[in-house]
Amino acid sequence: MSKITAALEAAVATVIATTPAEGERQTNRQRVESERAFATILKLIAPRIRHFIRQYGLLAHWEDAEQVCAIGVHRAIQAYDPDKAQFTTFVNWQIRGELQGLRFRLMTDQRPSAKRVAATTVSLHAVSTTGEGEENSLESMLLDEDSLERTESGASSYMADTTRTRLVSEYVDHLRTVGMDQLKRRARTRAPAAGTTTGPRLRSDLYPVDPTEVRALEERIATHREAIERRLGLGEDEGAPATIDDAARERSRQVAKRAAVAIADLAQRTPRFADAIRTPALPARPRGITKSAAAAAR
């Protein structure tokens, strides 16, 4: 056994002896002896570390290579068994493994797949000089300070648009329900009296509704929805057709205004919207047709 090998074995034995057992605390004396022995180990195998760094082509990453070699030495001490091999042999493979892993992480352009596309590894910390003489690193150039603000703004806009669309759809469905109720009541008032019918009296739920009136109702609802979406999406006057006259524009504005009141009322009374808007609840209203919805359906 050479002098270097014997010195390594002694230093490793000191590190192992001063390492406390699991659950115990290392004393200051043990810590100092362990650090001195570890420094001795690194000094003894420094020529070997330099040789391996050159062998693996990591001269441009010398500090990182030395750091991973120290990690490899530390792991070798923890897993070392003197009965199986000498420490010089055991630590060689630990150092080789750490350097191989470092080269794989840093020099990705050496892989066959990278060579086929002529890829080049560039450090994010490499400093480049701009045309104005300012020094910037790739890391600072990739950093987007406004990304978080834009992400939050985009998420808020998406949630607002989705909620607005669903509220308008809920309001349109409400208009349709109110309008159909009005048409059914009108059909019952037009039904023939019981004494003039030739057959048995019709049940109240079988009174026919005039299809022409249903189509007219759907046309009014479609017109109202268009006015509401134009008002909510593009503003009061923007986006309106150029040929529309002042009277029609005013009617559209009044439709959107009544709809806004009805939609706010609907949002307050719908559980899945009430929690999102966080505004004081409106006073209780008797069940039935709301004034704004009834006016819009007519």
CA separation, residue 52 to residues 42, 92, 103, 204 (Å): 14, 9, 12, 96
Q: Is the pLDDT of residue 191 over 70?
A: no
User: Using CA atoms, how far apart are residues 254 and 5, in angstroms rounded to an integer?
Assistant: 95
Kind and range of the H or E run holding 136? strand 135-137
The predicted pLDDT at position 235 comes to 47
Predicted confidence (pLDDT) per residue in 264-292, tens digit: 787 777 776 655 555 444 444 444 445 55
Mean pLDDT value across residues 180-188: 84
Q: Which residue has the tokens 């806004």?
A: 260
Amino acid, res. 266: L
CA separation, residue 69 to residues 25, 35, 93, 95, 101 (Å): 27, 16, 11, 5, 11
Helices vs. strands in the chain: H and E counts, helices first: 12, 2
User: Using CA atoms, how far apart are residues 185 and 202, in angstroms rounded to an integer?
Assistant: 14
Q: Is the pLDDT of residue 195 over 70?
A: no
Mean pLDDT value across residues 88-104: 88
Cβ atoms within 10 Å of 157's Cβ, excluding its own: 10
Is residue 181 exposed (0-12), middle (13-18) or buried (19+ Cβ within 10 Å)?
middle
Three-class SS of 50-106: HHHHHHCCCHHHHHHHHHHHHHHHHHHHHHCCCCCCCHHHHHHHHHHHHHHHHHHHH
Q: If we measure between CA atoms, which residue out of 258, 264, 192 comes closest to residue 231?
A: 258
Provide the residue ranges of all domains of the chain, joining segments of one domain with +. 3-116, 152-189+205-297
pTM: 0.40
Predicted confidence (pLDDT) per residue in 217-262, tens digit: 888 888 888 888 777 764 444 444 555 577 777 877 888 788 878 8
The predicted pLDDT at position 51 comes to 93
User: Using CA atoms, how far apart are residues 99 and 105, in angstroms rounded to an integer?
Assistant: 10
The predicted pLDDT at position 237 comes to 47
Q: If we measure between CA atoms, which residue out of 151, 55, 124 comes closest to residue 95?
A: 55
Q: Which tokens hold the place of 166?
A: 């669903």
For 152, which DSSP code? H
User: Using CA atoms, how far apart are residues 99 and 97, in angstroms rounded to an integer?
Assistant: 6
Q: Which tokens hold the place of 170?
A: 């809920």
Least confident piece of the model among 80-94, 134-148, 205-219: 134-148
229: helix, coil or strand?
A: helix
CA separation, residue 17 to residues 12, 88, 120 (Å): 8, 19, 47
